[in-house]
Amino acid sequence: METGTLFGWAFGDPARENDGSYISNLEKEAFENASQTAKARGVTVVAGSEVFTSLSANDSLVELDHAPGKLVVRCTIHVEGPGAGKLHAEGPMNG
């Protein structure tokens, strides 16, 4: 079966980046965003494949000037199904 990767995103308040429950909620939001993208592309999320990355303007060399709130939680998921092999989470976009 073909496999690929997709991103999902959530944006938050960098003043709360040390609040575990707040970050957990952002991770859930990012996962839901990624899952919706998978559904829209006709592929299935591989259970347990999600990986989260948090970026804050306070501690990152990444340019976050255009990120709402300047705290970004990214969820990368593996997907499978027809056409999944063409899906690659790269850079800021799903391609």
| 17-68 pLDDT, tens digit each | 899 999 999 999 999 999 999 999 999 999 999 999 988 765 544 554 554 5
Handedness of CA 47, 13, 18, 93 (dihedral sign): positive
Apex 42 CA angle, 36 and 76, nearest 5: 50
pLDDT at residue 92 tops 50: yes
What pTM was computed for the model?
0.84
**81 within 8 A of 75, measured Cβ to Cβ:** no
Nearest CA to 71 among 62, 79, 80? 62
pLDDT at residue 93 tops 50: yes
Q: How far apart, in Å, do the first and last CA atoms of the chain sit?
A: 19
Domain-wise residue ranges, the chain: 3-94
